[in-house]
Amino acid sequence: MRQGIFSLIDISMRTANAIESHRAALEAAGSGNAVRVECDALPGGPNPPGHYDIVWTDGNGNGVIDNTSAGLRDTFTLTLQQCWVDDPSDPEDLLLDGVVRFDYYEPHVQWGSVFDDLVMTRTLNNAVVPGSAMNVSGGFSLLIPGY
């Protein structure tokens, strides 16, 4: 259970990093339009690389990713399709399918994540671990004070 919670926190933090990494592309695409990002391909078979789509909703309509207007937060939706999260330094990784909704309060300081039928499947040494799929629906808010 604890490993699953840490995995969700890690996914949430990676989501924040993905938003920051693709900020310019998201702003150029505009509110409501998807930016597609390729994921690693699980080796050892006909496994095409997965991907995720990020859609930004501009809460205050100013065309900039921010949260300067009280109560009008920008939000993000990531739709993951066979997205393998490979950490080469760790033999255990995750294969992800589903939706992550992200309420972006302040970059890298405070945010909320909601997982909508997110399927997390463990991989070990680049192979799916049979019976390891875990379906997650729910969410949390995270605050990192003093950043």
Our measurement of the distance from residue 125's CA atom to the centroid of its chain's CA atoms, rounded to an integer in Å, reads 23
Q: What percent of the chain has pLDDT over 90?
A: 42
The pair of structure tokens assigned to 88 is 């080469």
- DSSP letter at 14? H
The stretch 53-82 carries a mean pLDDT of: 85
Q: What percent of the chain has pLDDT over 70?
A: 85
pLDDT at 57: 93
What's the chain's Rg over C-alpha atoms? 16
For residue 22, pLDDT beyond 60: yes
pLDDT at 108: 57
1 falls in which pLDDT band (50, 70, 90)? very low
pLDDT digits (tens, 9 = 90+) for 110-130: 678 889 999 999 999 988 999
104 falls in which pLDDT band (50, 70, 90)? low
Percentages (nearest 5) of helix, strand, coil residues in the chain:
20, 45, 35
pTM greater than 0.95: no
